[in-house]
Amino acid sequence: MRPDFQTLDEITRRLAAAVPGEIKTARAELEAQFRTILEATFNRLDLVTREEFEIQKKVLARTREKLEALEAALARATDRPAEH
């Protein structure tokens, strides 16, 4: 997954803003280094986007519904109550 660059930029700005006043002159360089480190870290993680997560959540819900319907049909066919 590619990191969300807007979020990455915001995190980078916040980190740079937290730098003590004495080294604020190196702020641009620090921002670039923070961004490089964060981007590399996010790329190593096995993350999914919110969109991918929502899609899988819907797939799981549909699968659960189908399973419950099959369990109910099986219970009716064998004359015993379905367990959930």
Write out the chain's pLDDT in tens, 84 residues.
555 667 778 888 888 788 777 776 777 788 888 889 888 888 888 888 889 999 999 999 999 999 999 999 998 998 866 666
Give the pLDDT of residue 62: 98
Q: What is the pTM of this model?
A: 0.51
Q: Are 12 and 35 in contact (CB under 8 A)?
A: yes
Give 19's DSSP letter: S
- The Cα-based distances of 78 to 69, 74, 82 in angstroms read 14, 6, 10
